[in-house]
Amino acid sequence: MQKTVLSGNEAFARAAYEAGVAVASAYPGTPSTEILENITQYDRIDASWAPNEKVALEVGIGASIGGARTIVTMKHVGVNVAADPLFTFSYTGVRGGLVLVVADDPEMHSSQDEQDSRQYARFAKVPMFEPADSQEALDFTRLAFDVSEQFDTPVFVRSTTRISHSKSIVELGEPLAELPETGLVRNPGKFVMLPSNARVRHPLVEKRLEEMSEWACAQGFNRIEAGDGQLGIITSGVAYQYAREVFPEADILKLGMVYPLPGQMIRDFAARFKTLYVIEELDPFIEEQVRAMGIVVTGKDKVPICGELTPGRLREAFSVNPQRLEPIEEVLPSRPPNMCPGCPHRNVFHALNRLKAYVTGDIGCYTLGFMPPLSAMDTCICMGASIGNATGLSKVLDEEERKKVVAVIGDSTFLHTGINGLMDMVYNKSTATVLILDNSTTGMTGRQDNPATGYTLDGDTAYQVDLEAICRALGVKHVVTIDPFQVDNTRAVIKEAMERPEVSVVITRRPCVLIKHDVVKTSTPLYVDQEKCVACKACLTIGCPAISWESGKVGEKGYCRIDRLICNGCQVCMQLCKFDAFGVCDD
């Protein structure tokens, strides 16, 4: 078969196609997002963005009950949102095979925590595969559909950033020629989880795990790689690659399925070695289960729990060929991510900074409003949390402080899990202010569509959710929509909303400059007249990447300048200049 270089995420998508998947649902989240985006290239799969991960899984469950093979994908924290259906679906089992691909983010490259999803496998009693490269991402995911149907269970495939976003050579497989038959089949004893039915299902779940643990001992995805017989290592996922690299002589038990563990296989392997290591990223998940078998191992007493594992960190943990890196002595200026030039969020945070608001934040590009010089975010917990946080905070403040509380949430995040918070805010008579930053896209994950953009994953037009109408329907009387590029008006409207002794919503509406549909036509770039610039630095307070400070020659004043190659002409800086120093370039 054909060989090609694929990322883990491309391989997960390919596996869905080869396995005869008919339905795919997801909410975008780094590092999982590209799985669904890649699935759109396969016409026979009905792929769609759901408003959140719970809905995505529920859609997947429905398709499975209808007989289709189904894939649902999300990032690690998405499983928290989808946990409710997941735990009960573990009891009902499937009709068509269902695979949930979850992508963890050790090191938190783009996440608010580094929870270890393998714990969900044990908690929800759902088997979990863990690939170590793109080839295994393809092979294990494809296999997971068979396993799902064979054992009547949803199946997890766990990825991490280094699996999802690494590329390696993959040999493609032959896709199933026909999709499984679908249609209505009534089976209420299996799918209606009333207590009386659920009590019947739970023992089946326990039995399933026992059977799988035994079955997994004889499957090729759990394999032993022979070494020189001195050191035994149990490992899985990308940690296997690091272990192979750092301990080339070791005997390795490489687990392709991390839950349930192949008990007898582990006992037999462990009995052969005086020294046994468990090498895994994040929690001591395998280690604790191996210890519970009465086996002595070395693991998290040496390998760090926090952060991602790297070959260097592994070398250091076991003092194997540690490299002495010579650090650079001078302090280098850091280069954190920043909002783009022309980003509609920038001026909103400038206004909140000036109004000294206490900002309960949320998850999206706008979380960068935390960064200096905007420095206008005080909390950020999880998707949708800003609104509930603002309600709770307001409950314990005096009247003056209460006015300072502003929740900030994006359009996609509001539809994800923000609506319930706003409903509670009105219902329980809070007085806080909510800003919905509507940039018509799900920006941070790479500009995906959502129900408020008017487009689907396939780029088809769709009903565009009316955010103002939702807010009013929830009982918000004061809903104002503004253009966040208008500096004075933005500040005035937010200030008035903050003063109001009732819930008020301000929707700041302006599309992301990088939006995919209805491409934003950027305006002519600006320039700064050096003669008129008095070096007050007011324009620098918005932290736009297009504006920089030039310190003048000795004895002369400095001035601000604009990089016209990246300026989008949004004119926010221009409105902050009291000295008329800005002009529009001639084109």
Partner 1 sequence: MTDMTITNILMAGVGGQGTLLASEILSEVLMQAGYDVKKAEVHGMAQRGGSVVSHVRFGKKVFSPIIPEGDADVLFGFELLETYRYLPLVKKTGAVVVNNLRISPPSVALGKAEYPQDIARKLNERVDNVRIVDGLELAEQAGNSRTVNTVLLGALSNTLAPSLEQWVAAIKSLVPERFQDVNLKAFELGRTAG
Q: 3 is written with which tokens?
A: 């060989």
**Token pair in block for residue 85:** 């259906």
As measured in angstroms, the least distance from the Cβ of 562 to partner 1 is 11
Distance CA 314, CA 295 (A): 22
DSSP states along 428-451: TT---EEEEEE-SSBTTTT-B--T
Of residues 3, 44, 223, 557, which one binds partner 1 by CB under 8 A?
3
Q: Which stretch binds partner 1 (CB under 8 A): 11-19, 244-252, 344-352, 382-390?
A: 244-252
Q: Which of 459, 483, 551, 564 binds partner 1 (CB under 8 A)?
A: 551
- Please state, in angstroms and rounded to a whole number, the distance separating the CA atoms of residues 462 and 77: 28
Residue 547 near partner 1 by CB under 8 A: yes
Contact letters for partner 1, residues 120-159 (x by CB under 8 A): -------------x--------------------------
Cα separation, 148 vs 200, whole angstroms: 20
Give CA–CA dist 501/497, Å, rounded: 9
CA neighbor of 452 nearest in space, from 413, 481, 505: 413
Query: Of 168, 197, 219, 524, which lies in the binding site for partner 1, with binding defined by CB under 8 A?
Result: 168
CA distance readout (Å), 66 to 20, 59, 60, 177: 14, 11, 10, 19
Window 18-47: residues binding partner 1 (CB under 8 A): 30-31, 33-34
Q: Which of residues 441-500 bind partner 1 (CB under 8 A)?
A: 444-446
Residue closer to partner 1 (CB basis): 186 or 553: 553
Using an 8 Å Cβ cutoff, are 511 and 520 in contact? yes
| Cβ 129 vs Cβ 257: under 8 Å | yes
Gap between the Cα atoms of 204 and 206, Å rounded: 5
Q: For partner 1, which is the closer residue by CB, 99 or 239? A: 239
In angstroms, give the least distance from the CB of 262 to partner 1: 23
Given the rule CB under 8 A, which of 115-123, 311-319, 432-440, 485-493 is the region that contacts partner 1? 311-319
Q: Give the residue, chosen from 175, 263, 304, 312, that forms a contact with partner 1 under the rule CB under 8 A.
A: 312
> Is there binding between residue 231 and partner 1 (CB under 8 A)?
no
Upstream peptide bond of 373 is cis (omega within 30 degrees of 0): yes
Of positions 50, 233, 238, 494, contacts partner 1 by CB under 8 A = 238
Decide if residue 558 touches partner 1 (CB under 8 A). yes
Binding mask 497-536 for partner 1 (x = CB under 8 A): ----------------------------------------
Strand runs labelled E in 8-63: 21-26, 46-49
Residue 315 binds partner 1, judged by CB under 8 A: yes
- Regarding 74 and contact with partner 1 (CB under 8 A), the answer is no
Is residue 306 part of the contact set for partner 1 (CB under 8 A)? no
Choices 14-22, 216-224, 238-246, 496-504; region in contact with partner 1 by CB under 8 A: 238-246
549, 552, 584, 585: which one contacts partner 1 (CB under 8 A)?
549
Residue 112 engages partner 1 in binding (rule: CB under 8 A) = no
Shortest gap between Cβ of 558 and partner 1 (angstroms)?
7
Residues 412-441 that bind partner 1 (CB under 8 A): none
- How far is it, in rounded angstroms, from Cα 72 to Cα 56? 7
DSSP secondary structure string, 279-307?
E-SSS-HHHHHHHHTT---B-TTTS-SSS
| Cβ proximity of 158 and 106 under 8 Å | no
Peptide linkage before 260 cis (omega within 30 of 0)? yes
| CB of residue 319 to partner 1, shortest distance in Å | 14
| 364 within 8 A of 410, measured Cβ to Cβ | yes
Alpha-carbon gap, residue 34 to 40, rounded angstroms: 10
The structure tokens listed for 155 are 């199946």
Q: Is 94 in the site for partner 1 (CB under 8 A)?
A: no
Name which position in 14, 125, 244, 510 contacts partner 1 (CB under 8 A): 244
Place of tokens 């600006």: 526
Which residue type occupies 86?
L
Residues 37 and 14: beta-carbon distance below 8 Å:
no
Q: Give the whole-angstrom CA distance, residue 183 versus residue 181.
A: 7
Q: Return d(Cα 339, Cα 359) in angstroms, integer.
A: 18
Interface with partner 1, residue 5, by CB under 8 A:
yes
User: Which range of residues in 166-174, 288-296, 375-383, 499-507 is near partner 1 by CB under 8 A?
Assistant: 166-174
User: Is position 399 an interface residue for partner 1 (rule: CB under 8 A)?
Assistant: no
**Closest Cα to residue 279, out of 319, 324, 247?**
247
Q: Report the residue from 332, 398, 531, 554 that binds partner 1 according to the rule CB under 8 A.
A: 332
Binding residues (CB under 8 A) for partner 1: these are 3, 5, 30-31, 33-34, 109-110, 133, 161-162, 165-169, 238, 240-242, 244-246, 248-249, 310-312, 315, 323-328, 330, 332-340, 365, 368, 371, 373, 444-446, 537, 540, 543, 545, 547-549, 551, 558
